[in-house]
Amino acid sequence: MSQTKKVRRLAGIEAMCKVRTLRTSARKLNLVAQSIRGLKVQRALNELEFSHKRIAIDVRKALYSAISNAENNHNLDIDSLVVAEAYVGKNLVMKRFSARARGRASRIEKPFSEITIVVRELGEAA
């Protein structure tokens, strides 16, 4: 018996990229994702290029990957792509400890997060 074909979650004019382990908190990553939502991809790349946030470098790589997926896998025109969605989720948390006074310890949490970027091709009318 063969497996049935999986139904594609995105429309025919969309492509996505998901990065699972980004070493930053979801709150900080959402600030960067918020700055590129709804922009044309060239404008979004420029926004990430000149951003002062450290994590903007990794988000830029993810956006390049989404653009490449759109071009190579779905034959979309990269000049008419728009960042349709950019949303952030929490991932694992590394737990470390810091030595404190009088033999005690306190917990330090180092969170990871994930980002999903969906690009969509705009039609001629838009």
Closest CA to 75 of 32, 15, 28: 15
90 Cβ partners below 8 Å, 6+ apart?
26, 111, 112, 113, 114
Q: Which domains does the chain have, with CATH numbers?
A: 14-121 (3.90.470.10)
In tens, the pLDDT along 73-99 reads 999 999 999 999 999 999 999 999 999
- Do 110 and 96 meet the contact criterion of CB atoms below 8 Å apart? yes
- Do 111 and 88 meet the contact criterion of CB atoms below 8 Å apart? no
In tens, the pLDDT along 38-68 reads 999 999 999 999 999 999 999 999 999 999 9
Q: Any idea what DSSP says for residue 7?
A: P
